[in-house]
Each structure stands twice: as C-alpha cells, then as structure tokens.
Amino acid sequence: MGEACAHHRHDTGLGPADVSAALGDAEARCVRRGERMTGPRRRVLELLLASGEPVKAYDLIAAYGADGQAAKPPTVYRALEFLERLGLAHRIASISAYVACSHGERAHAAAFLICDCCGAAVEVSPPAAAGLSGPAEQNGYVLERVTIEGHGLCADCRAG
C-alpha cells in the first residue's frame, strides 16, 4: 500500500483462495501453540495477506470493517502484537508498517528488501542474522527477534 509510483505492479497480494488457505494454516498454528485465532486477529492477518505489501496500522484500521467501518485502534494494535508474537507477521520499523510473514513456522530472523520508491518489500532469508547470535551470547543477551531492513530500489522501479 505504498504511495503508488507509476512503476509498481500491484499484484503482490494473495488471491482469495490462497488467503483462506493461509488463514487455515495460521489457525492451525494457533491451536498448536495453545492460542486462539480471534475474529480481530484473523481479520488483520487477512488484510495483510491480501495486500502482500507492508501496510501501515492506520490503513489496517481504516480497512478493517467489511462494511467500511473503521476499527477501534487498540483492536488492531493488539491483533498486530499477537500476530508478531506468533511469527505470522513482522513489523518493519523503518517504514512503520506490518507485513504477513511468508516464511512459514520455523523460527527465523526476518530480513526485508524494501523499495524506497514504491514501498514494496520482499522477505528474504538473511545469512547475516545468524551472525548475531554469537555476539549476543558473549554479551549475555537472549535474542527474541532479529529484523534486518535493507533499503533501495526494486526491479520494477529500477526499470521504471
């Protein structure tokens, strides 16, 4: 949901069938973890999956109601917190946006290639993140989350 530049093809989101498949997987993950996929958690994840791009919290709040009703902000923020905790979504701090995780259940450091022109973000597996665990241990830290954010131009915008 970037401020659309002319270069970007907005076809990164999942279609309805893939969204419901992904929601089913997410629900199964909740059950395995002894958590509940409540209505708000499900709806926020659905919006992220359908977008396929980083989405700002206020856009989620605005798009929340199928009937065009905005959500109460705390509802959306609590849902995002939960999705992040379960690894179903990631927060990309440098652009204050959220994105559905595309890398499955295995615990992983998230790394994003972020386009500064169209706002697209691709989640990639960073070899660099593993390198933090040694120094963390030496400094007595237990790492809970690692997110690497790389900024630049995507292929579409470079071709622009």
Residues at the site binding Zn ion, with contacts judged by CB under 5 A = 5, 7, 101, 103, 110, 115, 117-118, 154, 157
Q: How far is the CB of 154 from Zn ion (least distance, A)?
A: 3
By beta-carbon proximity to Zn ion, the closer residue of 60 and 154 is: 154
DSSP state of 121: E
Return the C-alpha torsion angle 36, 47, 127, 139, nearest 10: -50
CA-closest candidate to residue 59, choices 3, 102, 117, 7: 3
By beta-carbon proximity to Zn ion, the closer residue of 49 and 71 is: 49
Q: How far is the CB of 8 from Zn ion (least distance, A)?
A: 5
Task: Map tokens 């690497």 to a residue.
Answer: 148
Q: How far is the CB of 128 from Zn ion (least distance, A)?
A: 15
By beta-carbon proximity to Zn ion, the closer residue of 48 and 76 is: 48
By beta-carbon proximity to Zn ion, the closer residue of 75 and 123 is: 123
Q: How far is the CB of 140 from Zn ion (least distance, A)?
A: 26
Count other Cβ atoms within 10 Å, centred on residue 23: 18
By beta-carbon proximity to Zn ion, the closer residue of 46 and 53 is: 53
**51 in Cβ contact with 121 (< 8 Å):** no
CA-to-CA dists, residue 6 to 12, 18, 59, 68, 150, angstroms: 15, 27, 21, 27, 22
Q: How far is the CB of 109 from Zn ion (least distance, A)?
A: 9
> Any bridge partners for residue 112, and if so which?
123, 149
